[in-house]
Structure 1
Amino acid sequence: MEELLLRVVPGLPTLVLLIVIGVCILLLSKGADWAIDGVVALARRTGLPRIVIGATIVSLGTTLPEAFVSVMAAWTGNPGLALGNAVGSIIADTGLILGVACVMTRVPMNKFILQRTGWVQVGSATLLVVIALISLWIMPEPVIKRGIGFLFLGLLALYMYATYSWAKSGGNQAMDGEAEDESDEMGIPKSFLMIFGGLFLVILGARVLIPCASECAVRVGVPQDVIAATLVAFGTSLPELMTAFAAIRKGHPEIMVGNVVGADVLNCLFVIGASASATPLAIPENFFLFHFPVMLLILWSFRAFIAMQNKKGYFERWQGGWLLGIYLIYVVLQYALNVNIPH
């Protein structure tokens, strides 16, 4: 699909591109609404917390296409794309999406779930960086080997099982911060259909929107490196962003938190794990100097906010501003220092 878009989009008139962008935005909006409605209904029927469904089913749906693209890129000789996709998405998910959400509205802090999944989120990313540093120390050219890829996939399976177990054992604590559901009840099959149908529309809309928007930016004179550092990087997290906005608009921000935390874990353990299992992933020098430090700064900041145990039960706006500020500085420095992440 990517190659087809790259061939077709440059030949389209600007008016057609603008119409396509408009249609894609509608697909993104409608798909995100369907996905959130499906999550709420599924939580109601199964008794699982919405934050947990966001951290597992929704985040798996939004990261699965990236995992597929990354594995295919690794197989076809572009392994740097996998690492770039994963690290860039983690930074955007936590810095941009969670940051904007905390600035916009009161985002509930489910301490029971976040004290557990939050440690997996920051722990998996820290483990990735530690392994990368060991590789840098013992190898002339650092790589993430296939054995590490299989290790990450094993840790992913443990994470999914542990998240379900925590939700089941947590009782009312696992539901902390979730508003009452007054929507019409639907069956479990229809709930799954809403979730995956909605995610399909969101991913389709994002896949078509970004090449069209990039082409429009080129035609008005925006430099290619600026497009790479902004639009293309932003595009990998667009499904998570749209589902986050839909969750906030419908009064269920806890789904957004679960999606962000789950997507970070999956980008690290699933995207990098699956890609490294296919072929060893070389680690470019700029990851050690720039991308890894920014990723850890954002994730450990989020971890610190959880540890602060806000008595009010939600994240503060200044905390969202801090995360968003790091992300914006990161994007500006990518362009200024010419350290664009591989895409």
Structure 2
Amino acid sequence: MISELSNPWIFGLFALAGLAILVLGTRITGLADRIADRTGLGEAVIGGIVLGAATSLSGTVVSVTAAVQGAPELAFANGIGGIAAQTAFLALADVIYRKANLEHTAAEATNLFQGAVLICLLSMPLTAWLAPDFAIWQVHPVSVLLIAAYCIGAVTTKTVREEPMWEPVETSDTRADTPDEPQSRKGAVVLVGSFTLLVACLGLAGWVIAETGSELSGRFGLSQTVVGALMTAVVTSLPELVTTIAAVRRGAMQLAVGGIIGGNTFDTLFLSLSDMAYRDGSLYHAVGQDGYFWLAVGMLMTAILLIGLVLRERRGPLSIGWESLAMLVVYGGAVVLQVWTG
């Protein structure tokens, strides 16, 4: 049906779905913060697991739909490109927050832990690509291991919050996770219901992005990697941009950082689900060098973010941290290189 539409209608649907993702992402942030208070789980856990997974749903739909349609590079680049874009969004939020470096104010053991888990998860597809082409029922074993590693990391994240073996030094700029609302099971149920409905709408918008993005790639002769990494990935990552900026303005720093890292961690599951949906063998061996270029960019930006969370620099150039500046430079350079060569 979408293939029968004219170019203006395709662009219009793409833009409309992107706008829907933007608006829904704004609403989801406030609900996530309230759920964190009502359940007592805290901003870092809710941001890293619940909010991260919810705002990534539209991107999941894009990658899986692309894989089913036999477009492995679009599926891969959408997930990996989103990780790089979302990390850059965190640097943009640091620009907006003028009181201190965002990574200094959001000191939290769970964010450090999830960042380390993310690097481990990103290394697994790279290992699969470098290893011999192997699949069981057209699914590479790494896809199963990715899901298992993610689940273990999610469970351990809760343990790290409840029984931390490391605590940050508090300063006048440190923002603690202080609940704005009392814990209430009944109130939490209502919030979770509203949250679930909005997430379903995000999934529908993601499907529209996948269909229109794939069609634009074919009509204009763009590579699937360029469309995935620089178009669908950025548009489906808009909830992360909105939720991060909204969380910073609400003073929920752990939610802002945790939402980005958690969303990136969840995004690695795009690859597992896409590999299972792709029926022509291992997804990891159907992707070219350009796709793994963005994987390397995502790993580098995550490592820089972790360094910033450990060093906790209060001030830096342009009133942001050096790590934020470095992340923006890395992402900007990667975009220029991709456009230049793609």
Q: Could you state the TM-score of these two structures normalised by the residue count of structure 1? A: 0.76
Give secondary structure in 2 for the equivalent of 1:77. Answer: coil
Distance 2:244 2:181 in 1: 19
Is the CA contact (8 Å cut-off) linking 1:113 and 1:167 kept in structure 2?
yes
Aligned residues of 2:72 and 2:286 also touching (Cα < 8 A) = no
Aligned counterparts of 2:208 and 2:67: Cα–Cα separation in 1: 22
Match of 2:326 in 1: 322
Match of 2:273 in 1: 274
Q: Is the 8 A contact 1:125 1:296 kept in 2?
A: yes
Give 5+ residue unaligned stretches, structure 2: none
Question: Aligned pair in 2 of structure 1 residues 74, 213: CA closer, same or farther (>3 Å)?
Answer: closer
Counting only pairs closer than 5 Å after superposition, residues 131-280 of structure 1 correspond to structure 2 as: 131-133=128-130, 135=131, 138=132, 145-170=139-164, 177-178=175-176, 180-182=178-180, 187-201=187-201, 228=227, 230-268=230-268, 270-279=269-278, 280=282
Partner of 1:59: 52
1:103 aligns with 2:101: no
Partners of 2:161 and 2:57 in 1: CA distance: 23
Q: Report percent identity of matched pairs.
A: 21
Q: CA deviation at 1:318?
A: 2.9
Cα pair 2:66 2:214 within 8 Å, conserved: no
- Cα deviation per residue 1:193-237 (whole Å; 9 max; x = unaligned)? 343344445565676689999999xxxxx9967983644342131
Determine if contact 1:214/1:227 at 8 Å carries over to the other structure.
no
Q: Cα distance 1:255–1:88, how it changes in 2: closer, same or farther (>3 A)?
A: same
Q: Distance in 2 between matches of 1:12 and 1:115?
A: 44
Deviations 1:136-174 (A, max 9, x none): xx459xxx9521111111112212211222223249959
Distance 1:322 1:45, change over 3 A: same
Partner Cα separation in structure 1 for residue 210 and residue 141 of structure 2 = 34
Report if the CA contact (8 A) 1:153-1:274 is conserved: no
The one-letter code of the counterpart of 2:116 is W
Instruction: Using structure 2 for the length normalisation, give the TM-score.
Output: 0.76
Q: Which residue of 2 aligns with 1:219?
A: none
User: Once superposed, what is the RMSD of the aligned Cα atoms?
Assistant: 4.0
Mark the CA change 1:190 to 1:322 in structure 2 (over 3 Å): closer, same or farther: same
| 1:303–1:67 CA distance, 2 compared to 1 (3 A) | same
Counterpart of 1:147 in structure 2: which amino acid?
A: P
AA at the equivalent of 1:192: V
Count of residues in Structure 1 that have an aligned counterpart in Structure 2: 317
Q: Is the contact between residue 58 and residue 202 of structure 2 (CA under 8 Å) also seen in structure 1?
A: no
Instruction: Provide the rounded CA distance (Å) in 2 between the counterparts of 1:65 and 1:232.
Output: 10
Shift in CA distance, 256/211, structure 1 to aligned 2, threshold 3 Å? farther
Q: Which moved more, 1:154-163 or 1:124-133?
A: 124-133
State the Cα distance separating 1:88 from its structure 2 match.
0.8
Shift of 1:37: 1.9
**1:177/1:283 Cα in 2 relative to 1: closer, same or farther (>3 Å)?**
farther
Q: Using the alignment, how far apart are the partners of 1:213 and 1:147 within structure 2? A: 29
Unpaired runs of 5+ residues, structure 1, are: 217-221, 339-343
Partners of 1:31 and 1:202 within 8 A in 2: yes
Cα deviation digits, residues 279-328 of structure 1 (max 9, x gap): 4212433247732332222122122222324479xx94332121112111
